[in-house]
Structure 1
């Protein structure tokens, strides 16, 4: 085989290895994207549950607004908005499409405070404690929130997290196996070179070094291609899922890209190390099998 043909074959092997690594890392990046954004999604859902405080009829507006300020200063409250009787009537009229106040002759609705809590407090146990605390205020008549919905959201989020976690682990194992096999095939094509260097007295570390450097470069190149593909995917999804997936949270995106780079380098480095060691241990006669 001529040197030109050998170089072409070697270059083709590098390209195939890098493409294989990049596609596997791209799939891992998608799972990482889902996993990292799952927390944002669960936080978004939980922080939009909240509860409604119905105010007593005899409570003065100044007292209710003071209660609103107390709630806004609480550790568990993300925001608390006061809704007067007139505002509640306007909202109800828009929903019903008719003026029920004129029909009834009076406004039966109560003033209320719409409260949104932080995600860590949006669970049944915490909400029960918060409800008891709020009911102690004399201005409060009733605290209302959808308990069944709260239970369902928390249960489903836990199930989704477990399934996503299990799927991530499974894909990680598959990814490592695929990259490992790709690198082993690449090293296999140069097994005679490894043995020749060993027979002329080259130390194992000396033989291993260029392969490890190549493995790192392949991992880095594959990670770079995977990051480009992930960037295009995130950009495309950002238009459809505004506020959930996008480059708005640069820290989250940076963490994802860093994970892809680290995985690309580590997996290729470790796989190359063991693949080269395998042929360093083999006898010359065993290289033909």
Structure 2
């Protein structure tokens, strides 16, 4: 004989699986945002402003220019990266020859390049208007021949990054709405199977709060379990990617990943509680005839 379903049975596994799938997709979008922001930050920190020095400037003059640049607020302040690098004209010539495979010294007879400082800037200054202001300031330093950077690069990167964030945010929002509706319907169906039990509790004098308490607590536990499973899947996926994709370890910001995991857990509990409470409220107000 087929096993009879017990009165008050509840499809816990189905609800937890729905919540897990929902929270994993949302968490995955968050993980993409975190790592894309880190990638953009690394790109910005490696954009350089090049300060070319007049040929007649002495070593003392070069040191003076360096001190002036170091005092500027836009210079990158990071212990991990050397913010200002001196490149002699000989080093610059070597880089040029390696890049172009052409030795200009053979037909020019001399090295026309200049000594320079390559300056990494703070991420907050990575805007075309601010870069123009930096160029203007450094051009006014005595002994500076020319200041150059990749113009329009800042605007192009900022514009493309904004588009990426909008797409990811839109996708996450649409997924959140769809998933909340699906989870809400799943819990609604589960509560539907409990409607006669709920009515029986009302008939013996149980208050709404008394009836709601175990269901809402169960919804919170389901959301928490779904969040834990989703978080474990996210961490497992992230670790697998780090071990198999070269250079991906540089994009990891574990403090933000911890915040993301906690947010997934909190969102799971919130969805579980809110959906359960909303579905219960409907059946607590429903007339007896409507239960059939």
RMSD (Å) for aligned C-alpha atoms: 2.1
Matching of residue 130 in structure 1 with residue 129 in structure 2: no
Matching of residue 262 in structure 1 with residue 266 in structure 2: yes
Secondary structure of 1:147's aligned partner: coil
Native 8 Å contact 1:122 1:150 kept in 2:
yes
Q: 215, 218, 222: which one pairs with 2:219?
A: 215
Q: 6, 12, 34: which one pairs with 1:14?
A: 12
Deviations 1:132-188 (A, max 9, x none): 111110121111112122221122122222222222222221121122111111111
Native 8 Å contact 1:29 1:260 kept in 2:
yes
Following superposition, the deviation at residue 92 of structure 1 comes to 1.9
Change (3 A) 1:229 1:8: farther
Q: State how many pairs are aligned.
A: 284
Change (3 A) 1:211 1:69: same
> For 1:136-151, what aligned pairs fall within 5 Å after superposition?
136-151=140-155
Report the TM-score when normalising by structure 1.
0.91
What does residue 161 of structure 2 align with? 157
> For 1:65-144, what aligned pairs fall within 5 Å after superposition?
65-78=63-76, 79-97=83-101, 99-144=103-148
Task: Tell me how far apart the structure 1 counterparts of residues 179 and 286 of structure 2 sit (CA, whole Å).
Answer: 27
Secondary structure of 2:51's aligned partner: strand
Gaps of 5+ in 2: 77-82
Task: Tell me how far apart the structure 2 counterparts of residues 65 and 243 of structure 1 sit (CA, whole Å).
Answer: 37
Task: Tell me how far apart the structure 2 counterparts of residues 286 and 127 of structure 1 sit (CA, whole Å).
Answer: 68
Following superposition, the deviation at residue 243 of structure 1 comes to 4.0
Q: 21, 28, 35: which one pairs with 2:26?
A: 28
Report the TM-score when normalising by structure 2.
0.90
Task: Tell me how far apart the structure 1 counterparts of residues 211 and 31 of structure 2 sit (CA, whole Å).
Answer: 38
Q: 267, 273, 276: which one pairs with 2:277?
A: 273
Following superposition, the deviation at residue 22 of structure 1 comes to 0.2
Matching of residue 242 in structure 1 with residue 240 in structure 2: no
Following superposition, the deviation at residue 237 of structure 1 comes to 2.3
Secondary structure of 1:75's aligned partner: coil
Task: Tell me how far apart the structure 2 counterparts of residues 180 and 171 of structure 1 sit (CA, whole Å).
Answer: 14
Secondary structure of 2:171's aligned partner: helix
Structure showing the higher helix proportion among its residues: 1
Task: Tell me how far apart the structure 2 counterparts of residues 271 and 51 of structure 1 sit (CA, whole Å).
Answer: 54
Change (3 A) 1:127 1:252: same
Secondary structure of 1:275's aligned partner: helix
Secondary structure of 1:113's aligned partner: strand
